[in-house]
Chain A
């Protein structure tokens, strides 16, 4: 029997990531369908998945557009959700190869799932860079292809309201939120976010309630 290799083989990393890849693919298809239902041009839907590569942020931006909100509000909602990538980017920076510029480019492959896999593959505080890159590249591929298939399927499905697709957004937000409510701090942030958003909504332009919720979330987090 040969000694265990110090580096996990590409094959093993891909095998470990394949169940996640299926989930990301299905999420991509549903994102494409919903984006077409929200009247985004098909090319922009696929371009968004290719350039943003962040399911929850894209979903949030789309939810704002589908509910009649403006572009700036949609960008704000998505970008604020992506602020957590500043934290994961710092965590993985030391594990990536190359100079600053290459590392900044490679860090674009970090999403929640690839970061979680790399954190699990490495020792505490030192995520495994190869796992992040291989898992991230696989998930990037299925995310973009899934979105493309969804964008092609979208127009075939028919009237979005009759299919309940407008209700898919708040249902999806709740499904993304629920697993995060593990501790008292997260619950406190969520409750305060709702309170601030509802207090601001009647008296401020769209976008301000979300910004207020973000600020109170940052304020209360620990």
Chain B
């Protein structure tokens, strides 16, 4: 990614994150019914990110090494493995499948 675009990415994300963290101190109190709704954001977004990374533009599952990587990471997470173990295991299984079977 070119420098100016990378700077835009960093400053855009930094600015919005700053405002969100500062909102509690700067704004008058919001009702809990509003703030509690943000608890649904993270699961919905992360699940959507997984789905988008595993599918092609046609909306169907794209069969490549990412699928076994995700399945392994999910299985490890289910057994309470730390985040970094899931990530490395996912990358390793993808690298192995590519090296051994020349998968995409």
Contacts and interface: CB of A to CB of B under 8 A. Distances in A.
Nearest to B3: A41
Kindly state the interface size class of chain A when it binds its partner.
Answer: 35 or more
B63 interface: no
Contacts of A173: 46, 49-50, 53
Interface in A59-105: 60-61, 63-65, 67, 71-72, 74-75, 77-93, 96, 100, 103-105
Nearest to B9: A71
Contacts of A219: 40
- Per CB-CB distance, the 6 closest pairs between chain A and chain B, nearest first, are A221-B40, A171-B90, A217-B44, A89-B24, A193-B44, A164-B94
A202 B58 CA distance: 5
B41 A84 contact: yes
Given A201-B59, A221-B39, A89 B25 contact: yes
Interface of B: 1, 3, 5-14, 16-18, 20-26, 29-30, 35-55, 57-59, 65-66, 69-70, 72-74, 76-78, 81-84, 86-96, 98-99
Nearest to B72: A171
A136 to B, nearest CB: 11
A107 B44 contact: no
B83 A176 contact: yes
Interface of A: 23, 26-27, 30, 38-41, 44, 47-48, 51-54, 56-58, 60-61, 63-65, 67, 71-72, 74-75, 77-93, 96, 100, 103-105, 107-108, 110, 161-181, 185-187, 189-194, 196-199, 201-202, 209-210, 212-214, 216-222
19 contacts: A23-B83, A48-B9, A61-B13, A72-B12, A75-B8, A79-B13, A86-B35, A100-B26, A104-B21, A104-B26, A164-B91, A167-B94, A168-B91, A170-B90, A173-B46, A174-B90, A175-B76, A186-B43, A189-B43
B99 A174 contact: no
B48 A84 contact: no
Contact of A202 (B36, B46, B59): B59
A94 B72 CA distance: 42
B10 A82 contact: no
Q: Which of B49, B78, B90 has the most CB of A within 10 A?
A: B49
A171 B82 CA distance: 12
B100 to A, nearest CB: 12
Nearest to A75: B12
A164 B13 contact: no
B86 A171 contact: yes
Contact of B48 (A44, A163, A193): A193
